[in-house]
Each structure stands twice: as C-alpha cells, then as structure tokens.
Amino acid sequence: MNRYEQILLEHMERHRNLVVMTAENRMALRNIPPYLGKRFIDVGIAEQTMVGMATGLALRGNIPVVHALATFLTLRAFEFIRTDVGIGQLPVKLVGAIAGFLSEANGPTHQAIEDISIMRGIPNMGIFCPCDELEMIAGLPTILEAQRPFYVRYNAMPSLGTINAPFELGSSITIGDGHDVAIITYGFLLKEALKAKEELESQGIATRVVYLRTVVPIDEYTVIESAQTCGLTVTLEDHFQTGGLYSIVAETLLANRVSADVQPIALRSRWFKPALLNDVLVYEGFTGAMIATRIQSMIEDYVVIPIPF
Amino acid sequence: MTTQRQLELEDLALKVREHILSLSTDGGCFTGASLSCADLLVYLYTEFLRVSPQTTQDPLRDYLLLSKGHDVPALYGVFAELGFIEKSRLQNHLKTHDSIYWHPNRNVNGVEFHSGSLGHLLSVGMGIAYDCKLRNTDNRVVVIVGDGELNEGSIWEALLVASAQHLNNLIVIVDRNEFQANFATEELIPLEPLAPKFEAFGCHVLRPDGHDFHAFDMAFKSLDEKENDKPIGIIADTVRGKGIPSIERRADRWVCNFTKNEIHQLHQELQGHAIADLESEALIVR
C-alpha cells in the first residue's frame, strides 16, 4: 500500500463517504481495491462516464475521487467536469496522472500542459499541484474534506524535505528572502527552482522561491508582496504560458493595481520534446542551471524602451 | 389499469399539454419535444415513481432525470398539476426572478439535476443508482433520453458501464419521437433497429406505445416480475407534437414561439376543435 492509498483509506475509515474511481488507470491504486470493495469502481476507458457517475455519487453525499491520465481526464471529460461537477458545485476530486513534464516520452497526446488553464476556468474549482509525495500526502486530507471540487496533479516523486509547515489551502512557502529575484512555482519544478536559486546566489543574485501550496486558491498576499519586493519576478511551470501560473500572477497583480517586472518560464506555442524526464528538462531548458541562466539573461537583456511621443 | 383511471390520466395529460402550449409564446419553448413525452411523464409521476412534492429530498425516493432537458415544459406541467410547484409559478417562464427557463434547474422542487447538454444524465443517474445499491435501498432511477440524444457517444459508453455494473435499478427511457432538432432521425442518423441495439448493450428491453397508458402499465408492471441483473431500456414510441395535429411530426416545428392569436387557436385545436391557422415562421435553431 502506498502513502496515497493509505491516506484515502484513513479518510474512508473516518468518514465512510469515499468512492474511489478510475478509468482503468491503477498506477496509484494497485493495492487499495480489495480494501474498498464496492467503493472502488473501475469504469474502464470511459472518462466521461466516470465523471458523470461521480456527479451522481456526489449528489447522494459521497466524495468521489476519480483517477485518469491528466490529459484524458481534463480534456476528454472536460464538458462533464464543467457542466455536471462545475455547475452542480459538487465536491468531486479529480486526480490527473502524469501531468506536465511527467508524461515523459509519451508524446503530445499525453501532455497535460493546458490542464491548469482549463480547470481554473471553472468557477470554484480548486487546483493542487504538490511538489512531491510528502506534500501530496500532507495536502490530501484537506483536499478531500474541502466542500468544493478539486483538480490534483498527482505527484509521487521522492520528498525534497523542503516543506514541513502544516498544509493550508491558499497558502505558500517562501524559501529565502532575496530581493533581486522571486521565482514563483508549483509542482515538482520546485526542486529545479531551488537549484536555480543556489546557482543565482553563487553569482550574487539574491533570490527567493515562492512555492504555492495550492494554485487555486492562490496566496495573493505573498504573490503581491514578493513582486513588490523583488526586482524581477519569474513564474516557473510545466504548462503552456497561456492561462497558467503566468496568467494567474499577472491577473492577481493587475487586479490589485500592482506594477511589477514579471517574466514567464513556461512552454510557448508548442508541445515539449518527448523523452525521459531529465532529458526533457535539458532539452526544454528547465534544469536548475538552465533556469538560472535564463533568469540571468532576463536581468541582463532588460532595456527600457522609451515610449515615443 | 381501469378505464376510469385511464380517463383520469388522459385528462391530466391534457392539462399538462395546456401548460406546454401556454409556455410556447413570449419567447417560446421546445413545444414538440415536450408534447411527445407528456403522457410518459404523467404515467411515471402518477403510477410508477415513489416520489411526491413532500419527498423530493427523501433519500429513499425514486429518481427521475430528464436528460433531454429541452422538454422541461412537460415536466413543469406535471409538477404544477401534482403540486410540486404552484401553478402560478409557470407565469415566471423566462423571467429573471425565477429559474424556469428552456432547460431544467434544481431550484425548482422536483428537479433532481440540471441538464441541457445531451448525453450527460445517463451516467449521472448511474452514479445515483450505484449509491442506492451501496446502501441496499430499493430506489429506482429513471433517466429519460431523447432519440436524437442517442447520437451522443456518451450514451453508449455509459450503457456499457451500466451493464458491467449490473445496475438493474436503472431504467433508461427513450422518447422515440423520430425527430432530432430539425430532421427526422431516420433521415439524418438512422437509429433502427433500435431495440436490438439496447439489447446488444446488455439491457432488458421493452417497447410500449408512448401515448397509451395501458401499454405503459403493462410494461412497467412487468418489471416487478423481472429477475435479472440487467439495466432496463424502454423505448417509448411517441409522436413529436402529440395532441396538436398542425405541429405533429413536423421537422420545422422544433422551437416554437407562437403569437397570442396562434396560441388561442392551438388551445382550441388541442381540445379537438378546428385546426389552427399558423402564420408565424418555423424557427430553425441549432
């Protein structure tokens, strides 16, 4: 039994209201089915039906936790999520596997790099992208108890040992207090952000890293505060530049009438090169060292273009 | 079913049709698709479903989900007649101070879930049916789908899963009025032979006349003796626009928004008097 399954079972023992579902993806659920009996449902490769059934189960007072690869869950079943779970405002938990770079060598069909953009377009949908397994486990009980739908980027990567404060929705963890650069990020890229911080600081660029414990709701206060404090704010994410963290941070600042220099490190206008994770990071420029180099050139290349009158 | 009861239900269905007609002006509604399932809904709410205006939140109630949500005027007509909602509330149709519009909304007592996008409520109903099995309660879950709605792949995907999960407390009823939006089904996406399709997907299938209360009674009563673990598929053969000959089986009478004068004539026609003289243009929508 893995830690994720343990948390689900612990919740089940306390509340008796979980139904764990999958569209024939048992990567995270190898051992739990016998413990759940009829409260485990494998619908086969039928994401729409799974989300529809989850809606009906939620209407009867259950907390359905549904599993599928992130692309098929958020795209194939999107209208069911938006129209049934979303309009119904039901506490269905949507767990997407191999989101972002974690699809590795599967290719563009499996690359969920617009998932955050489309999920956050649904009113009241929460988004949780844990940086490692420990963080996923720390957040899961709160996510399961939240009376709202949630989208989770499943991430069982080994612990970074960085995060140990109690989990709270809409909170963040700031590592370091540098005033030159703030790197705001979520998910497993936190690890690369921390490497980039070390690299930048070895060159005299004082850096802080803001890790968002939930992307929605976002810790507005910390986002604004770091953008106001630091010379340059960089958003780092394995997601298309459109609609993801860069957009969320930009919207947050604009809506609060804050002007700041904010630059994105994200995927632009194309899907990423399919390969094993480390090779993807190198090819796409997302290793800690490459992130540091990209941030350095953002600082060096910055020229104020005079506005012609 | 006694003849007396049959006459009572026919009388009730006529009142429901009058409500549908009254909603077919000042913005209008999906009149034909509502008229086709009026008899079906009258039968279900009076003779089959264990639910009343007072028990719409009771966990032991039977469920009815209107997956072809555009026929909601028929449902609201039934609700108004049976006391789920005040009759006067139908005057709020399309008004911003209420939730009575072209598709169902849960703010109306008796509506289990919203719909409007076709192909959704079969799987939602399956989730409800599954939970009833988990709790060992004997609720029945009825899902009404349109025949045009059967174009949606999600219906067939859901049937595969319903059959795999042995949801024999699930009843899928097709309002087989032979039209989808602006076309005859057999002209655009032929569905026949339809019963064998449902059988092949693992359903126990019945095919009653969708405007004959006696036929409904035979079909639904036969379910009590059914001893198998299959979901139930009922294909109710109906007529789009049933009860008003001038719009019956007309591909061009999909969304209807009649003038007050036409509505007056159509009420006469519904009572079996002269055929209405329709001047308003047929609306082609979708």
Domain with residue A284: its CATH number is: 3.40.50.920
Express each pLDDT in B185-221 by its tens digit. Answer: 999 999 999 999 999 999 999 999 999 999 999 999 9
φ, ψ of residue B154 to 5 degrees: the values are -65, -25
**Count of other CB atoms within 10 angstroms of residue A109:** 12
Question: Does A47 share its domain with A188?
Answer: no
Region class of B129: left (phi > 0), else alpha (psi between -120 and 50), else beta: alpha
- A contact test, residue of B101, B112, B131, B141 with most A CBs within 10 A: B131
Q: Is B114's CB within 8 Å of A60's CB?
A: no
- Domain boundary (A102, A120, A153) is at A153
Tell whether A51 is covered by a domain: yes
Contacts of residue B59 in chain A, CB cutoff 8 Å?
Answer: 60
| Distant-in-sequence, close-in-space partners of B14: CB < 8 Å, separation ≥ 6 | B243, B270
Question: Does A187 share its domain with A220?
Answer: yes
Question: Does A105 share its domain with A217?
Answer: no
Distance between CA A68 and CA A85 in Å, rounded?
16
Q: How confident is the model at residue A305 (pLDDT cuts 50, 70, 90)?
A: low
**Considering its fold, how many domains does chain A have in total?**
2
Tell whether A165 is covered by a domain: no
Question: For the stretch B124-133, what's the b/e string if a residue is b when 16 or more beta carbons lie within 10 angstroms of its beta carbon?
Answer: bbbbbbbbbb
- The answer to whether residues B53 and B110 touch, using CB atoms and an 8 Å cutoff, is yes
Residue B173's pLDDT is 98
Per CB distance under 8 Å, which residues of A are interface residues toward B?
A: 19, 38-39, 41, 43-44, 46, 48-62, 64, 79-80, 83-84, 87-88
Tell whether A305 is covered by a domain: no
Find the mean pLDDT for residues B98-104. 97
Residue A85's pLDDT is 98
Q: How confident is the model at residue B119 (pLDDT cuts 50, 70, 90)?
A: very high
Question: Does A133 share its domain with A180?
Answer: no
Q: Give A258 to chain B, closest Cα distance, Å.
A: 37
| A118 pLDDT higher than 90 | yes
Question: Does A28 share its domain with A100?
Answer: yes
Question: Does A180 share its domain with A146?
Answer: no
Q: What is the DSSP string of A47-71?
A: HHHHHHHHHHHHHTT-EEEEEEEHH
User: What CATH code is carried by the domain that includes residue B200?
Assistant: 3.40.50.970
Find the mean pLDDT for residues A270-296. 98
Number of H helices, E strands in chain B: 10, 7
Tell whether A52 is covered by a domain: yes
Question: Domain span at residue B94?
Answer: 3-270
Q: Is B132's CB within 8 Å of A56's CB?
A: no
Express each pLDDT in B128-165 by its tens digit. Answer: 999 999 999 999 999 999 999 999 999 999 999 999 99
| A222 pLDDT higher than 80 | yes
Evaluated on CA atoms A60, A63, A68, A72, the torsion sign reads positive
User: What CATH code is carried by the domain that includes residue A33?
Assistant: 3.40.50.970
Q: DSSP letter for A104, please.
A: G
Dig out the tokens for A112 from the structure: 């969920």
Residue B284's pLDDT is 60
Distance between CA A52 and CA A43 in Å, rounded?
11
Of B59, B123, B129, the CB nearest to A49: B123
How many CB pairs lie under 8 A apart between chains A and B? Answer: 88
Q: How confident is the model at residue B27 (pLDDT cuts 50, 70, 90)?
A: very high
Q: Is B134's CB within 8 Å of A88's CB?
A: no
Q: How confident is the model at residue A264 (pLDDT cuts 50, 70, 90)?
A: very high
Residue B143's pLDDT is 98
Q: What is the pTM of this model?
A: 0.96
Q: Is B127's CB within 8 Å of A48's CB?
A: no
Q: Report the largest interatomic distance among the alpha carbons of chain A, rounded to a whole angstrom.
A: 73
- B contact test, residue of A12, A45, A60 with most B CBs within 10 A: A60
Q: How confident is the model at residue A304 (pLDDT cuts 50, 70, 90)?
A: low
- The answer to whether residues A149 and A121 touch, using CB atoms and an 8 Å cutoff, is no
Question: Does A52 share its domain with A177?
Answer: no
Q: Is B126's CB within 8 Å of A56's CB?
A: yes
Tell whether A161 is covered by a domain: no
Find the mean pLDDT for residues B3-19. 98
Q: Give A240 to chain B, closest Cα distance, Å.
A: 29
Residue B16 host element (H or E): helix B3-22
Q: Is A49's CB within 8 Å of B158's CB?
A: yes
Express each pLDDT in B232-283 by its tens digit. Answer: 999 999 999 999 999 999 988 889 999 999 999 999 999 999 899 998 877 6
Tell whether A164 is covered by a domain: no
Tell whether A204 is covered by a domain: yes
Residue B227 burial class via C-beta count within 10 angstroms: exposed 0-12, middle 13-18, buried 19 and up: exposed
Contacts of residue A88 in chain B, CB cutoff 8 Å?
Answer: 113-114
Q: Is A52's CB within 8 Å of B126's CB?
A: yes
Of B127, B161, B165, the CB nearest to A55: B127
Q: Give B17 to chain A, closest Cα distance, Å.
A: 30
Tell whether B151 is covered by a domain: yes
Residue A152's pLDDT is 98
Chain B CA closest to residue A85: B124
| A308 pLDDT higher than 90 | no
CA atoms within 13 Å, Cβ hemisphere of A220 = 9
Question: Does A112 share its domain with A246?
Answer: no
Q: Which of A48, A60, A61 is nearest to A21 (CA)?
A: A48
Distance between CA A158 and CA A188 in Å, rounded?
10
Q: Give A92 to chain B, closest Cα distance, Å.
A: 12
Distance between CA A237 and CA B44 in Å, rounded?
53
Q: Give B106 to chain A, closest Cα distance, Å.
A: 9
- Domain boundary (A153, A187, A210) is at A153
Of A38, A48, A60, the CB nearest to B154: A48
Distance between CA B94 and CA B33 in Å, rounded?
18
Q: Give B120 to chain A, closest Cα distance, Å.
A: 7
| A307 pLDDT higher than 80 | no
Question: Does A106 share its domain with A200?
Answer: no
Residues listed for chain B: 286
3 state DSSP class of B53: coil
| A269 pLDDT higher than 90 | no
Question: Does A199 share its domain with A97?
Answer: no
Question: Domain span at residue A294?
Answer: 172-300
Dig out the tokens for B12 from the structure: 């009730």
Of A52, A59, A79, the CB nearest to B158: A52
Tell whether B280 is covered by a domain: no
Find the mean pLDDT for residues B87-112. 97
Dig out the tokens for A47 from the structure: 């994401």
Q: In what order do the strands lie in the sheet with B232-237?
A: B63-66, B141-146, B170-176, B232-237, B204-206
Tell whether B278 is covered by a domain: no
Q: DSSP letter for A304, please.
A: P
A265 - beta bridge partners? Answer: A236
Express each pLDDT in B214-231 by its tens digit. Answer: 999 999 999 987 778 999
Question: Does A294 share its domain with A194?
Answer: yes
The beta-strand segments (E) located in B75-140 are none
Contacts of residue B201 in chain A, CB cutoff 8 Å?
Answer: none
Tell whether B210 is covered by a domain: yes
- The answer to whether residues B156 and B118 touch, using CB atoms and an 8 Å cutoff, is no
Q: Is A56's CB within 8 Å of B127's CB?
A: yes
Amino acid at B256: C
Tell whether A131 is covered by a domain: yes
**Considering its fold, how many domains does chain B have in total?**
1
Residue B253's pLDDT is 87
Amino acid at B44: L
B232 - beta bridge partners? Answer: B171, B204
Question: Does A144 share its domain with A14?
Answer: yes
Residue A160's pLDDT is 84
3 state DSSP class of A180: coil
Residue A189's pLDDT is 98
Distance between CA B117 and CA B120 in Å, rounded?
7
